[in-house]
Chain A
Amino acid sequence: MENLIALLVAAPLVGAALLLCGGKRLDRTGAWIGSLFAVASFAVAAVLFADMLGKSAEDRAVHQHLFSWIPVGGFQADVGFQLDQLSMTFVLLITGVGSLIHIYSIGYMEHDERRRRFFGYLNLFLAAMLLLVLADNYLLLYVGWEGVGLASYLLIGFWQHKPSAATAAKKAFLVNRVGDVGLSIAIMLMFTTFGTFAFGPVLAATGDTSEGKLTAIGLMLLLAACGKSAQVPLQSWLGDAMEGPTPVSALIHAATMVTAGVYLITRSGAIFNAAPDAQTAVVAVGAVTLLFGAIVGCAKDDIKKALAGSTMSQIGYMILAAGLGPIGYAFAIMHLVTHGFFKAGLFLGAGSVMHGMNDEVDMRHYGGLRKYMPVTFVTFGLGYLAIIGFPGLSGFFSKDKIIEAAFAKGGTEGWILGGAALLGAAITAFYMTRVMLMTFFGEKRWAETPGAAAPGQQVQHPHESPKVMTIPMIVLAVGSVFAGALFSVNEAFVTWLEPVTSFAHGHSPLSATAITASTIVVLLIGVGLAWQMYGRKPVPAVAPRGSLLTRAARRDLLQDDFNHIVLVRGGEHLTRTLVYLDHSVVDGAVNGTAASMGGLSGRLRQLQSGFVRSYAVQMLGGAAVLVAATLLMRGV
């Protein structure tokens, strides 16, 4: 059965190769071929899952060793897979949501002439992401890690003729590369510390290692996670990444790739458990990001960017949970899965709205759409209820557990983290209600006839999307509603993951009931405030100037401006200066030294003015003399 693991990765990889090298012949069928390979991978995952369920909890991890990859001295890298409960969870999420989004894209990308390539890139993404979660060592994980970065780059910049898309793609790759350096340094540290970087031996040996080393490794892994999961301070790329087609935002920048950082930290649990300082850094990053993303999400008028802020914030919750150690790992992953359902659903809903609104993304030009797009409205609405943590829906179960675990961290730290998580829940309720109200309720702020349209505004004929798009949305909505409850029956999800991530019950200073009650209270406050601001009075079609905070939040809390001034401008000056120096100083100095010895530069000038050929003849003559001399010597 373990021989099937490679097939999980191979199926989408073959699909990608076929679609990218297949040429125009496959233009018409490309979308279906791509979806077929995605579904095939899901089918294999289902078979493996069924097989895994049939085994006892302790025997579920299976390995498939393929071949020795880079053998150099003590450095032994293998290509091998490891499928345990943790990777199985991801595999099901990736192939399941991935297949749905492939199918959705058949409708969404119908009119794009380059859609064959789009599906090729999507398949490539699936293969890389599966490699990431199935690798049995950190170096192979790194291949998947950068592989998903490449797929993300290609898909963000899919509409390459738009300079903004090309810039966003480059930015995403570069910011991610900064994180990747963290991962590569972590691997080097593992190699010098343990002599290996395979999960098994490294994670088993943490007990014998100095805490300092483990903290260093942990911090480097955290840097990597920050890049991939858009956590502060490497979060700036995610908003721009919304330049990509919306199915991409749903799959890569909401449900799967951006959660890779959570996977990395959870997978490396044994390292973090033994390095409390690194854990503190992790929870700090999570707490800051969950507030940062939520605040940014409140200020955006672009529906996708508002959702991107939300993604950042929700992953902040997961990172926070993962930083809490065994009391949080399982909940981090549980929230990751439920988030995968409702956030993918929300993005697909946003895509459906855009599809019916001529690709308009400004929510100030929406309004009253519930009548025109009933299916989108209902599915989006269920996703909305799930994310704000409406009692009984997915987000309620998973987020509640994280808040509880944060309090259980204990001490002042516990109160700060728990408080931040609660505050985040309130802001989440606020910005999501804002999105909901601006899009589906209120007066319509778009025009059906050219006469009524404001300057620069398009004429709209909103319509519901075709079935190939709505069915995936419905499936995800069902998941958003029931997944959380299903996972929580008898702590099913925690029991499932426990053999891999280990689990400990936290002891919160507040009772579970008190926490649940307070989350419901903050939820109501958030919703009420949003209703007050966007529901009771009409939303202006042009954004008001806003408070200082609003304006800062619109600009991603000025982090981009900082990057631009310090890194981009500074870098430009640096390279320009270096180019100048290379020409005048380095080149000049070397030439000058040589000139002082042999009149080189004089000769150079002379040669430049046209004596090349005569010099060449001299050269040839010199060489002849040299050869003659050596031959003569032999004769002597």
Chain B
Amino acid sequence: MADFSFPLLTATAAVPAIGAVATAAVPAAKRTAAKWLALLFSLATFVLAVVIAVRFRPGAEGPYQLTESHAWIQDFGVRYELGVDGIAVALIALTALLIPFVILAGWHDADPLESASDSGSAAGSNSRWRPTQGFFALILAVEAMVILSFEATDVFLFYIFFEAMLIPMYFLIGGFGDRAGAHGEEQAATQRSYAAVKFLLYNLAGGLIMLAAVIGLYAVTADQLGSGTFSLQQIVEARTSGKLDFGTGTERLLFLGFFFAFAVKAPLWPLHTWLPNAMGESTSPVAVLITAVVDKVGTFAMLRFCLQLFPEASSWATPVILVLALISVIYGALLAVGQRDIKRLIAYASISHFGFIILGIFAMTTQGQSGATLYMVNHGISTAALMLVAGFLITRRGSRLIADYGGVQKVAPVLAGTFLIGGLATLSLPGLAPFISEFLVLVGTFSRYPVIGIIASVGIVLAALYVLVLYQRTMTGPVKAKVEGMPDLRARELVVVAPLIALLLFLGVYPKPLTDIVNPAVDHTLSVVDKKDPKPAVRVDAVPGAGRPGHAVHDQEVEAAK
């Protein structure tokens, strides 16, 4: 096994890429075949992701494992360099896990409309552009690029995939949407393209600024190391050994260039406004793709690139970033409370959650960063559960407005039950996975910045508010007119939701497999940034089990001593 160097990481990205091409090539008439093909490829990718997780050795020597390295553009020092740490392994697993569910949930989202009868538009053929093959091929293309972004340890290589995934995403948002709402197909199409273009322009703007910083990085390394390099590991090593010194001003500028792009993608207040549009207008599976998968590249890149390339600038920017993240937490939650549209509500909730993730990353504690990584995974699963069930609901009624629903619980109890569990996960109920990550982020933030930790805790109450208000208005009360006769979840839909819920429960009770993988990577990151956890004020023997037997007696002694 030792000398067998199967390029596992490349393969994991190549399978969905090949799948995308293969799916796109299926003849137009064989739509069902294309769907199954796409599902098959996504499942194969998942198997490979599991193999990565199994072969990964937590705590082994060196920051990256399963590395691959080939020369690419030699003149500019660009290499095809892949490698994973525990954080990347967790996120690759999340991505590969969610895509099959996204495909299954969107099974009928890209079917051609039966007729133009349900919308008044006579324009017919050109009002809806939804070739089935394209839809599934684009999803697989996004998957391939996201996985490569998690794997790339060469900054330029990362940049290419980070940017390139905008193209398929753009078409997914602009080309496919929910059934037309009250204003008809024409209006819906306009809103969709607006959302798609907004998504694209925001992210392109971020990307352009990052490109400048990437070039700047090359210039500095070329200047100081003799030959320019984009290799993350080389740069980090050169920095620690003192061979490379960005200089304070340059480092800060470069940091800001990178961070800006990631903050748009994450998204961080006030760069968040593209997200509600994009998630609202796209179909639910695509919305899941955006918030649960693609956006995670932004927060992941903060951990991998911002902190490790520019540790000093990261510390310098921390106060501002923490405040922006805190604003995101509260602001996103308050806006979620005020939404009338189910999908926009979930989008704003995500903005609040991304605030938590960024808070955890920049708190610079092991709890904060492990929590943030777990948060990325758990938010992916919980939002997928909530958003996909919301999508099933919206498909049934043909409306995204909360006010159009009521009493669903009575007619479709399983749908309502799964929606509630998704909602409870979103509000971080203990027992479900998101609680663990949220608490870790809070405790990690609190131990260094108590005031910020306390204010962020208010987000817990607001989350309960927007989730329970949403549930109350849609699911409880008297049954509304068009809700009557709504069918409960079908078998395909249950296959999507049940595993997600099972996973939320499992990771809520036993997250150790995940923390075991993630913790060493976080320790490495923090050692690069040169930060140590604050020590507790009072030294207590914290070994598990210490002081347990007969501690009641001990208490008594303490009390007696007073």
Contact = CB atoms under 8 A, between A and B. Distances in A.
Given A177-B461, A191-B443, A166 B551 contact: no
A604 B164 CA distance: 21
Interface in A580-601: 582, 586-587, 589-590, 594, 600
A615 B200 CA distance: 11
Given A74-B536, A160-B477, A207-B561, A587 B273 contact: yes
A72 B552 contact: no
A334 to B, nearest CB: 18
Contact of A270 (B171, B331, B558): B558
A65 B545 contact: yes
Given A195-B536, A578-B338, A607-B193, A180 B559 contact: no
B265 to A, nearest CB: 14
B190 A608 contact: yes
Nearest to B348: A582
A73 B448 CA distance: 15
A76 B542 contact: yes
A73 B197 CA distance: 44
A512 B388 CA distance: 66
A582 B365 CA distance: 32
Main secondary structure of the interface of B (DSSP, over half): helix
Contacts of A69: 509-512
A584 to B, nearest CB: 11
Q: Which of B167, B174, B197, B519 has the most CB of A within 10 A?
A: B197
Given A184-B460, A623-B167, A636-B75, A142 B430 contact: yes
A63 B546 CA distance: 12
A147 B505 CA distance: 13
Interface stretch (A246-254, A403-411, A569-577): A569-577
B499 interface: no
A280 interface: no
Interface string B457-482: 11011001100110010011111000
22 contacts: A61-B550, A69-B512, A70-B512, A71-B515, A73-B366, A73-B533, A75-B440, A160-B476, A166-B476, A191-B536, A195-B540, A196-B542, A200-B551, A204-B554, A209-B537, A273-B559, A502-B560, A578-B334, A579-B338, A579-B339, A604-B197, A633-B75
B510 to A, nearest CB: 7
A478 interface: no
B463 to A, nearest CB: 9
Interface stretch (A167-175, A466-474, A530-538): A167-175
A170 B4 CA distance: 58
A630 B73 contact: yes
Interface string B71-113: 0111110000000000000000000000000000000000000
Nearest to B554: A204
Given A200-B547, A201-B547, A612-B174, A604 B201 contact: yes
A198 to B, nearest CB: 8
Q: Which 8 A-B pairs have the closest CB atoms?
A: A195-B536, A575-B338, A73-B366, A166-B476, A200-B547, A200-B551, A143-B430, A612-B193
Given A73-B367, A178-B461, A188-B453, A136 B439 contact: no
Contacts of B405: none
Interface in B510-543: 510-512, 515, 519, 523, 533-542
Nearest to B171: A616
A313 B519 CA distance: 48
A67 B511 CA distance: 11
Contact of A188 (B337, B443, B519, B537): B443
Nearest to B407: A161
Given A65-B544, A200-B554, 10 more contacts: A145-B430, A161-B477, A192-B447, A194-B536, A198-B544, A200-B551, A499-B553, A578-B334, A586-B273, A604-B197
Q: Which of A160, A604, A615, A630 has the most CB of B within 10 A?
A: A160
A628 interface: no
B382 interface: no
Interface string B254-276: 00000000000000011101000
B77 to A, nearest CB: 12
Contact of B558 (A58, A139, A206, A575): A206
Contacts of A615: 197
B551 A199 contact: yes
A209 B407 CA distance: 53
A173 B468 CA distance: 9
A508 to B, nearest CB: 21
A78 B544 contact: yes
Given A71-B515, A192-B537, A620-B167, A200 B338 contact: no
Interface string B424-443: 10000111000110011011
A458 interface: no
Contact of A203 (B370, B410, B442, B551): B551
B431 A193 contact: no
A500 interface: yes
A571 B74 CA distance: 59
Contact of B537 (A70, A177, A206, A213): A213
B112 to A, nearest CB: 18
Interface string A257-292: 000000000000110011000000000000000000
Nearest to B478: A161
B556 interface: yes
Interface string B189-227: 010011011101110010000000000000000000000
Interface in A603-624: 603-604, 607-608, 612, 615-616, 619-620, 623
Given A73-B533, A620-B167, A604 B194 contact: yes
Measured as residues with beta carbon below 8 angstroms from the partner, the interface class of chain A is: 35 or more
Contacts of B324: none
B552 A61 contact: yes
Interface string A143-186: 10111001001000100111101110110011001101100110
Nearest to A78: B544
Given A70-B436, A203-B555, A586-B273, A63 B548 contact: yes
A502 B555 contact: yes
A619 B170 contact: yes
Contacts of A169: 472
A390 B373 CA distance: 60
B545 to A, nearest CB: 6
B549 interface: yes
Contacts of A582: 273, 331, 335
Given A70-B436, A174-B468, A623-B164, A590 B273 contact: yes
A570 B447 CA distance: 32
B407 A188 contact: no
A20 B205 CA distance: 49
Contacts of B537: 192-194, 209-210, 213
Contacts of B75: 633-634, 636
A48 interface: no
A203 to B, nearest CB: 5
A150 B546 CA distance: 32
Given A575-B335, A636-B75, A200 B548 contact: yes
A230 to B, nearest CB: 17
Nearest to B156: A630
Q: Which of B174, B429, B538 has the most CB of A within 10 A?
A: B538
Contacts of B555: 203-204, 269-270, 500, 502
A84 interface: yes
Contacts of A208: 538
Given A161-B476, A181-B457, A623-B167, A136 B562 contact: no
A178 B196 CA distance: 39
A213 B450 CA distance: 13
A170 B553 CA distance: 42
B23 interface: no
A604 B198 contact: yes
